[in-house]
Structure 1
Amino acid sequence: DHLLGNAVQHREVQGNESERFLSYFKSRGGVTYRQGGIASGFHRHQSTNEPRLFHLKGRHTVRLFEMPAIDWSYISRGDVYLLDLNEVIFIWNGSKSNKYERLQAMHRAKQLRDERGKTNIVIIEDGEEMKMSKDELKLFESKLSLKDKKLNLNETIDDNDDDTRSDGAHIKLYKCSDESGTLKVTEKKVGPLVKSDLESEDAYIVDNGAHGIWVWVGRRSNPKERREAMRNALGFLQKKGYPKMTKVCRVIDGAEPMEFIALFKTWLDSNAQKGLGKTYTKGHIAKMVSSQFDVTTMHLHPQLAAATQMPDDGSGKKEIYRIEQFKMIPYPETMHGIFFSGDSFVIQYTYNDQQNSYTLIYFWLGHHSSLDEQGAAAIGAVELDKKMNGTATIIRVVQDKEPLHFMAMFHGHMIIFKHGKRSGFRNLQYYDENNSENDDTYLLQVRGLSKYDTKAVQVNI
């Protein structure tokens, strides 16, 4: 309602998430389902050092299900499991498990090892547990005794990796209308669909069976149809007797995702390129023309937008403040992009799209900055937001964890030096008494592939 019904809305059910939803977590090793939650007061949510047993599913995008307990009764020969003991991760491969999930388990275990730094990985094949070293076997049996090993053959297929494409023959199109004041859903077409079947004055339901239900809302449909679209889809789901985990998505005329467009036999977009578009020969090279970043193009690349969190290309206006004696002191423009690990900074960034102006307030915390400086930076960010009547977005950034957009603001010229200004409480012992900003001779480690992700960090010589 707050967005006037103009947002694309997805309904996701645990264990049956769409490929789009899962793709947002692919770079982070997939989705992990932990025991507990708000209803249980998080009482079952274990600490990071607690032993855990995970069931891994997914050939392309990993899903890790934490088992209620570490016990053989939760293990089957058709699947792959991770026994996480913090210092050691055991990968147990069922004799009937597929090679893709075995590979994904190895990738996930390596990622956990890289995050922790001191974790060993042990791979175990079903029936070959006794081939482990004496110490490994002892540690493994401390949680899963081989005397209690009783397994069932479970060769379940991971529905997250099913091929959900279809030839369009079974797809049905339903029209939603409330001309008489009562909502009616009537079948309009069966079989392959084309874009011209959809009229901007109405709302429609595209029934793709077990592969999902789509609600399409025309740009000129009335407000009631927009508001009730998702509710109508859920009612339609119940009336058809489809499983509760069936995927439901509400899309808007003009902002259709590729998964929706793929359901149509033909989809002609007036803004689409025709043929090869405008091309250039060797003797007529295209001139490079700089243009303002178009935020709306992120709709065409939702996975990129979600992974990078890039609202624009970083070419907006910056106002940078450095925390000194608990106060925000304006940072000289000639120093923009230069940070010190002993300091905290506040950055007010403003950018525009085709209609509005937006503000982001970053507060950056150096690894060696004192707690009082970090607190002052957080307070300073809140004060800036108050001056803007609470319309800004505040983002906390820790050194070496900078998001892509933060680095993009400095166009490949971001440098992090050691040292910095002393804390107001002078409680930081990292600096010497002279406390120089940076040494005359230093070594920088540079990482990045473009102006959007490049930064240099001072390291020990």
Structure 2
Amino acid sequence: MAVSMKNVDVAFHGVGQKPGMDIWRIENFKPVPLPKEAYGKFYSGDSYIVLRTTALKSGGFHYDIHFWLGKDTSQDEAGTAAIKTVELDAALGGRAVQYRETHEHETDLFLSYFKPCIIPLEGGVASGFKKVEAEKVEPRLFIVKGRRAVRVSQVPFARSSLNHDDVFVLDTQSTIFQFNGETSSIQERGKALEVVQYIKDTYHDGKCEVIIIDDGTLGSEADTGQFWVLFGGFAPLTKKAAVADDAPALAKPKLSCIIEGSFKEVETSKDMLDSSKCYMLDCGTELYIWAGRNTSLDARKSAVSTVEGLITGQKRPKHTQITRIIEGFETLEFRSYFDKWSFNGQHPVSEEGRGKVAGTALLKQQGLNTKGILKGSPIKEELPPLPNLSGKIEVWRVIGGVKKEVAAEDVGKFYDCSCYIVLYTYQGEERKEEYLLCNWIGRHASPEDKASSLKIIKDVNSGLKGRAVEAIIFQGKEPIQFLALFKCMCIMKEHPAAGHKENPIMLVRVRAVGPHIVLAVQVEPLSASLNSSDCFLLQTNSKLYAWSGNLSSAESQKSVLRVAEVLKPGVIARPVKESLEPPIFWSSLGGKRKYSSHREPKDGPKDPRLYTCSLSQGNLKVTEVHNFTQDDLLTDEVMIVDCNNAIYEWVGQNSSVEEKENALDIAKKYVERVARLDGRLPDIPVFIFTEGNEPTFFTSFFSWDPSKVNVNGDAYARKLAGIQGRRAPPEKPQKRLTPSSSVGAKDTSTQRAAAMAALSSQLTSEGKLSKAAQTIINQNSASAPGSPKFHRPSTANSQRAAAMAALSFMLGTKSTTASTVSVDADWVAGSLPFTKVEATGDTESTTSSKSEDGGDEGEEITEFFSYDRLKSTSTDPAPKINIKRKEAYLSPEDFEKLFGMSRTQFYEMPKWKQDQRKRNLQLF
């Protein structure tokens, strides 16, 4: 379709050349650009066109066009907005996705542009009404919906509008009230607070009182009364009536061809879509207009008018969603309505076509001036944040369903007929151990080994209490996070059949994939396997050649010699440059044949997209979260970040048990979905991890704030305190404490109250201290003559520890920062790991106790053993010991020599540090 810019409104000339937003308002049937300061302010009597331009990693731009129709806009203005949107798309080369937006029924994508919300103003340009008058005092009641994209709708100011399920905001002259329905979610309450802040800043200049009314709880009598008096007094609320959808989704979408203002139904099949025609896909609540690439601008305008007429003629809801797309730029949602969507061996144009090459060709085809329209340049691919590479790596090979440890000298060598388990343990940013648990699947691995390897990583992660980041990796699709663990990874061929004679000629492709990261892959020993962009190792019967292609990088040329040392230690590789090969080189490869000079394309990363995923009766439901932030990771959901060449699945702590158990199935079904709808191969690497164990290469997709808490309402409480101008409440302790965490950060009165509540367990019926309590006090008083500092117990708070803290207060002990001695029972048990003190008359006796994980810590230690007998690799292990606390069987001299500290100092350390020291000494 050739489009002349003469047929495009002059307001659209030259738009879309840089990322950002452009907004026009329809005035006198013409699009008029809005000033930037007016963005986000919509009037109910007007119609608007919104263009969102996004720069892509491919170097081009992606365009989304929305035309927004106020509830009081005229039919003529609405029609003009729809037609002008088609012209705007033509000015952009005919490749934008277009959305019809209606007042209070906007799409999540549209709402995500205007955070925290949009609250359209009354009136419009025709009436000259520009802003809400300051002296207006009539209360406005809004219902706030949405856990992410916030939808604010004004409802009648009446008690009957309130219910127990939703959140409401009441705006009055001097006070803003937020009414939290009893069964409303904490996420909706938090989003409503953002709406309250918006109203406070926009309509009250930031100066007004904010009062929260929690339905079903007893709040301030004055605040509650102030709220209900505005409704004529308190009265019980009625239950929310169930509201049926105005137009339920069709059981099966219907596809119709648009011919001269009428519809002719055809089979819902991609093969029925003709490039010279326009079609409508009727999904009930949503309509799609598909325009063939060879249709004219007039035909596209006519199709839009015809579908708009359908809504009126069939009396469908005015807010029926309409999405218009051009052939080759179909969205995943559109494709999902078709049973099959073949790509004929080509990747869909929807992403790559928005890049420079496809975009420029399309614009030239349409007769448009392409100069400057695609100024975006490809972003240089950057490596994602990698794990700390000074950790410990363990590798097992799965053979016959059994894992066998790989010798240290063979770590990094993989065979394509097997599966491997790789466990990498490293120090994370929060000074704690983190785990990357990978399952590498060889191209020719047996189905039995594949199934066994999946079971093995599940068992290994269970042993790590589910803290590991699990990765499923297929041969040929190794992500950089995996390759970086080995520095040099070699993938070799191995024939599984017994007695098979290996070919003495070996050809290995060598490629530098990152700074000091090398991937070597054995290929068929044929000249056709060569590529001028790479380096190769060729082993003949008598020599080893390091061949460098003319287009290969300097880093790859250095790497090929490194790989030679790994595969053939002690053998000197002879460097050979392309076009200077000796005759034996070609004869070893079966003769010189034509080979490629272009490296095969790979699936590079694309702009990350976030989706919520849930399983219902085995079916996967996927919903995209647009313009996402860290706050969109909701703790009761399973979410996926899709970067095209890798998928990251985040499992919230409060997601359902079924979703947690089927996390891998959710990932598999998602991969199947994108393979079917997006033309990708199903061997995409997948990373799976739980909330609280996010790796840095995942958090880099967000402006990550480790202190943010999405659970237990902490974020809501802090946000509320900020709006009301109060000091934020103290944060609840994180699940994973750093060594600097101490009770000093906790409110003393709270600590004392908790301790006094537990004190009764240590008092006799006469109100005196029990002998056990007195024993602990005396013991710590003798060992700590100074003023002690109270530390948070290393294990869960025990009643006895709280009692001891209370006793110290009763005896007049005050905390200071001078000493580091703890007086709680947990510390005493930690410093003497196999004993606990009990009162038996006036003496102490030593008995066995339970460790924090429930295991029996054994009897009193009466015999020490040498380090050689206690370490895990001992050939003569010590008998009948508690293997979880091997270090306790060392003599004091051996302990200090090995650990470089006393037992007391060791048990004062955080548990993760204790475990790390023990693991390094093979005592774990």
TM-score (norm 1): 0.49
> Which one scores higher on RCO, CA 8 angstroms, separation ≥ 6?
1
Higher helix fraction (1 or 2): 2
Specify the structure having the higher radius of gyration (Cα).
2
TM-score, scaled to structure 2: 0.26
